[in-house]
Structure 1
Amino acid sequence: MKKYLLPLIGLLFTVSAQAATFTEGKEYISLEKPVPSAPAAVKFFSFYCPSCYQYDEVFKVTDNVEKVLPADVKLTEYHVDFLGPLGQDLTHAWSVALLLNVENKVKPLLFDAVQKQQTIKTTGDIRDLFIRAGVSASDYDAAWNSFAVKSLTAKQQDLAKAVDLQGVPAIFIKGKYMINPKGLNSDSVNAFVQNYAETVQFLISKP
């Protein structure tokens, strides 16, 4: 059964450059079937996932991961459609956000609307949120119905299958490795987030 990780409780932190050791099977897991076509760093999430909300909006795990990536590596974010009644529609809407380059504008609004306000009940509600974020109705409708967005949606779905995604949030590096949250330092949220980011940094530099 698809699942998401339990939310964390604690404080934020700033990534340090201290030395650390990393072990396959502990901090990260090597994929049995690597996916060479995958982005160098990709995160899967869902607006219906409480831990995804915590990672992004509360504990800033995603922000700290982005800080340790090389200048030429971007963290690609893909939405999954196996959670929630509008999971597929939100994945399609996320493709609209990617196409229109408004991810940073709509992501916090969608998280708030789904997780806190619980105001996303229909595809019309999703559309209204994009418009409130500054996207014109005509641009949204054109993107929603475009071949490019359909292709982006299929790309997200196909990669989730290719890496055998079992739950979110999840970060994969080079189509070879998956961060294993259960093996990270859980002494505090600070320690967890630091260990998470440092593991990403290690794997990005690993062949």
Structure 2
Amino acid sequence: MHMLRRLLCTAALLTLSGVVAAAPAAPAAPKEGVHYKVLPQKLETPAGKGVEVIEFFSYACPHCNVFEPLLAEWVKKQGNNIVFKRVHVAGGARALPQLRMYSTLEALGLVEQYHTKLFAAMHQQGVRFADDEEVLDWVAKAGIDRARFSDAYRSMGVQSRVRRATNMMKDYQIDHWPMIAIDGRFITSPSMANPDESHAHGSHAHSELEQQKVALQVMDALVGRAKADKK
């Protein structure tokens, strides 16, 4: 009986250690060039104790769609530690209607109300938002006044927001998305925030969800570093 109990305990420990080994290991101290990069020159951020965090995303991006609920929960937990912003990327002519759509929602103060609905429209309902009419048709069906939205969509103010997004992509050296900018100097993303250094060299494979969870932990560390520097 004692031998059987010892064997069962040993098997349980081996099983547990296997599970732990399979789980992605978050970096205790994220490394520059591995988990994040530093911009050559720090960009201007709002004054105050909150650390600016910017998500560069696209409604058409499937990775952004998967990342959205995790990021939203992370932002909620951060609370007053951060000043959170989003920038819809300017990914060429095909993405322009989506960028203008987001910029219009932002101008009208409707982003939070429709943000997740737009992801669902593209990735669950098959809406492409490929041109202006498709954008305006969806807006009207979603309950937004079409004329009011159309006026804003074509306004100089929204055009200015579109130009600003394009310039910010250049300033922050955004070459894929989702990407996260922290304190105007750190850049990270799920694809950069590898669970461990060995994964960066291709010896381990982790799921997208695991990478995204590790990215959030890297973001925790970078926000903490930026916040400490503000004191």
| TM-score using structure 2 length | 0.70
Higher helix proportion, which one?
2
Aligned equivalent of 1:69 = 78
* Higher RCO (CA-CA < 8 Å; seq separation 6+): 1
Question: Aligned with 1:151: secondary structure?
Answer: helix
Q: Is the 8 A contact 1:45 1:169 kept in 2?
A: yes
1:192 matches 2:226: no
Residues 163-182 of structure 1 mapped to structure 2, 5 A cutoff: 163-181=172-190, 182=192
Which amino acid counterpart does residue 197 of structure 1 have in structure 2?
A: L
Q: Percent identity?
A: 19
| Equivalent-residue separation in structure 2 for 1:81 and 1:183 (angstroms) | 23
Aligned equivalent of 2:66 = 54
Q: Is the 8 A contact 2:90 2:165 kept in 1?
A: no
| Equivalent-residue separation in structure 2 for 1:200 and 1:183 (angstroms) | 9
Question: Which one of the candidate residues 92, 95, 98 is aligned to 1:87?
Answer: 95
Q: Is the 8 A contact 1:45 1:77 kept in 2?
A: yes
Question: Which one of the candidate residues 102, 107, 116 is aligned to 2:110?
Answer: 102
Structure 2 stretches lacking a partner, 5+ long: 1-25, 196-204
Q: 1:118-173, CA deviations, whole angstroms, 9 ceiling, x for partnerless residues? A: 33343111112222333211220221122221221111111001111111111110
Q: Is the 8 A contact 2:27 2:218 kept in 1?
A: no
C-alpha RMSD of matched pairs (Å): 2.6
Aligned equivalent of 2:13 = none
Aligned equivalent of 2:159 = 150
Question: Aligned with 1:40: secondary structure?
Answer: strand
Aligned equivalent of 2:12 = none
| TM-score using structure 1 length | 0.77
Aligned equivalent of 1:24 = 32
1:124/1:54 Cα in 2 relative to 1: closer, same or farther (>3 Å)? same
Give the CA deviation at 1:53. Answer: 1.4
1:50/1:180 Cα in 2 relative to 1: closer, same or farther (>3 Å)? closer
Aligned equivalent of 2:136 = 127
| Equivalent-residue separation in structure 2 for 1:118 and 1:193 (angstroms) | 24
- Flag as ranges the 4+ runs of structure 1 deviating above 4 A: 186-191
Q: Is the 8 A contact 2:38 2:187 kept in 1?
A: yes
Q: Is the 8 A contact 1:41 1:174 kept in 2?
A: yes
Aligned equivalent of 2:19 = none
1:45 matches 2:57: yes
Q: Provide the aligned length of Structure 1 versus Structure 2.
A: 186
